[in-house]
A and B are shown apart, each in its own frame.
Chain A
Amino acid sequence: MPTIQELSTPHLLGIKYLSEDDIQLILETTDNFKEVLNRPIKKVPSLRDLTIANLFFENSTRTKLSFELAEKRLSADVINFAASSSSVSKGETLIDTVNNILAMKVDMVVMRHPAPGAAHFLAKNINANIINAGDGTHEHPTQALLDAYSIREKMGDLIGKKVVIVGDILHSRVALSNIFCLQKLGATVKVCGPPTLIPKYVTTLGVTVEHDIRKALAWCDVANLLRIQLERQTVKYFPSLREYALFYGVNKKMLDELDKKIVIMHPGPINRGVEVTSEVADSEHSIILSQVENGVAVRMAVLYLLATKRGK
Chain B
Amino acid sequence: MTLAEAIIARHAGRPVEAGEFVEVPVDFVLANDITAPLAIEAFRELGRDKVFDPARVALVPDHFTPNKDVRSAEQCRVVRGFAREQGLHYFEVGRGGIEHVLLPERGLVLPGEIVVGGDSHTCTYGALGAFATGMGSTDIGYTMATGRTWLRVPRTIRVELTGELPRWVMGKDLILHLIGLLGTSGANWCAFEFGGEIGALPLDDRLTAANMAVEAGATAGLFPPDNEVLGYLEGRAAREFDPVYPDPDARYAEVIEVDLGALRPLVALPHSPANVVPVDGLERTPIDQVVIGSCTNGRWRDLLVAAEVLRGRKVHPGVRCIVIPGTQELHLRAVREGLAEVFLSAGAVLSTPTCGPCLGGHMGVLGAGERCVSTTNRNFRGRMGHPESEVYLANPAVAAASAVLGRIASPEELSRREG
The finding on whether chains A and B are genuine partners in a shared complex, rather than unrelated, reads: no
B residues adjacent to A (C-beta < 8 A): none
